């Protein structure tokens, strides 16, 4: 498998409906599940499928993403041959035409030309799923496809399989054909290529809005969904941080929640996702919420249907109430002092 597939992850996506979480990070680097980032899913899927060479194409706000991935060590991609590669766009003012833009790929043709893998798997960085790509490659070859688009319930998840040589041709001829990205090719009814559609039957959800992000996060608390995503034989890998276990005091009450290492829980947590290093003080109540890293919630606060970004401080006696449809979001570093905030 590792001799056949090259992994290409498009991390250039900018989504207006996620701007409250991307003022200082890319969509690919949005925290998820208390200890992961969105990109961890596609990157882990590639590595678990035997892919040993992965190129990531970011554009905006990618410092957090690069800090998270580092050399690729946690994904076994810190290699002398192949490994993990970053190709940021050298011109921020240059337009990128959709997901998997050939214009961005063209700026790094040397990498694609030198690649020894016969096939290329091209994906976005914000779909949550756990997929083995070996059956996909076999199906693609057996079906004599030029391009395979992976779909879930008839809708694309922006995952494409193509011969590397054909991808190079598409990039070289983009101005003549008018194909600016992979979507243009597969949706052209007059395309000269044999385009196939592979139906993925497992769990898959593309995070493209605050509502889908919140829904996907809350679905993790469903044991059935959890077991579809986090498989022992195909683990979702992430950056390892050596932190102590979470400390629960005698006043802590926790129900149906995910709590990462390094937290301190003294209050009540229900149906929520709590990231590393969070402190929830005595008398505080957190329900149906997503609390990101190193946030502090002081005594007697009430939070429900909220998303708190990293390093937020909620001071004593504050009440913040959102709704399932419109969760209340506080940006990184926000400080709320004794207010009652509701959607």
Residues 174 and 315 both lie in one domain: no
Calpha distance 227→220 (Å, rounded): 9
The domain boundary residue, chosen from 229, 255, 270 = 229
Nearest residue to 291 (alpha-carbon basis) of 283, 300, 270, 282? 270
Q: Which domain holds residue 310?
A: 247-342
Q: What Rg do the C-alpha atoms of the chain give, in angstroms?
A: 21
Tell the burial category of 193 from Cβ atoms under 10 Å away from its Cβ (0-12, 13-18, 19+): middle
267 and 335 assigned to the same domain: yes
Q: Which of 115, 209, 207 is nearest to 164 (CA)?
A: 115
Question: Among the three residues 229, 258, 284, which one is the final residue of a domain in this structure?
Answer: 229
Are 198 and 331 contained in the same domain? no
Judgement on whether residues 149 and 297 belong to the same structural domain of the protein: no
Beta bridge partners of 7: 54, 121
Q: Tokens representing 298?
A: 């002081």
How many structural domains comprise the chain? Answer: 2
C-alpha–C-alpha distance, residues 68 and 47, integer Å: 16
The CATH number given to whatever domain includes residue 80 is: 3.90.550.10
Residue 235 — φ and ψ, nearest 5°? -70, 150
Q: Are residues 16 and 134 in the same domain?
A: yes
Going residue by residue through the chain, which has 343 residues, state the pLDDT in tens, using 9 for 90 and above. Answer: 445 899 999 998 888 999 999 989 999 999 999 999 999 999 999 999 999 999 999 887 889 999 999 999 999 999 888 899 999 876 655 555 556 788 888 888 999 999 999 999 999 999 999 999 999 999 999 999 999 999 999 999 999 999 999 999 999 999 999 999 999 999 999 999 999 999 999 999 999 999 999 999 999 999 999 999 999 999 999 998 888 999 999 999 999 999 999 999 999 999 999 999 999 999 999 999 999 999 999 999 999 999 999 999 999 999 999 999 999 999 999 999 876 666 5
- Token pair for residue 9? 């992850």
Are 139 and 223 within one domain? Answer: yes
Same domain, 68 and 110: yes
Beta bridge partners of 255: 270
- CATH code for the domain in which residue 319 is found: 2.160.10.10
In angstroms, the CA 8 to CA 119 distance is: 11
Contact between 35 and 5 (Cβ < 8 Å): no
Give the integer Cα–Cα distance in Å for 325 and 17.
14
């Amino acid at each position: 498998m590792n001799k056949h597939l090259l992994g290409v992850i498009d991390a250039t996506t900018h989504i207006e409906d996620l701007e409250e979480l991307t003022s200082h990070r890319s969509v690919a680097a949005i925290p998820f599940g208390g200890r992961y980032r969105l990109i961890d899913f596609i990157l882990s899927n590639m590595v678990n499928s035997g892919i040993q060479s992965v190129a990531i194409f970011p554009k905006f706000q990618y410092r957090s993403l690069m800090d998270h991935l580092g050399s690729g060590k946690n994904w076994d991609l810190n290699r002398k041959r192949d490994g993990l590669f970053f190709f940021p766009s050298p011109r921020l003012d240059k337009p990128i035409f959709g997901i998997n833009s050939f214009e961005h790929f063209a700026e790094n043709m040397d990498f694609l030309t030198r690649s020894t893998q016969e096939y290329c798997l091209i994906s976005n960085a914000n779909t949550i799923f756990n997929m083995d790509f070996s059956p996909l490659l076999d199906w693609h070859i057996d079906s004599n496809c030029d391009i395979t688009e992976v779909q879930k319930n008839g809708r694309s998840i922006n995952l494409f399989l193509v011969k590397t040589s054909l991808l190079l041709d598409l990039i070289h001829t983009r101005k003549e054909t008018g194909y600016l990205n992979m979507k243009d090719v597969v949706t052209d009814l007059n395309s000269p290529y044999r385009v196939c559609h592979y139906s993925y039957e497992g769990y898959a959800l593309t995070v493209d809005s605050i509502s889908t992000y919140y829904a996907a996060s809350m679905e993790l608390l469903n044991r059935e969904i959890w077991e579809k995503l986090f498989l022992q034989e195909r683990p979702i890998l992430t950056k390892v941080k050596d932190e102590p276990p979470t400390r629960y005091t005698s006043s802590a009450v926790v129900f149906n929640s995910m709590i990462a290492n390094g937290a301190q829980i003294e209050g009540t947590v229900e149906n929520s996702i709590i990231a590393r290093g969070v402190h929830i003080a005595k008398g505080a109540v957190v329900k149906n919420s997503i609390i990101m890293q190193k946030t502090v919630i002081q005594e007697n606060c009430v939070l429900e249907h909220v998303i708190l970004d990293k390093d937020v401080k909620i001071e004593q006696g504050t009440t913040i109430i959102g709704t399932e449809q419109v969760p209340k979001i506080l940006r990184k570093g926000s400080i709320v002092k004794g207010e009652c905030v509701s959607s």
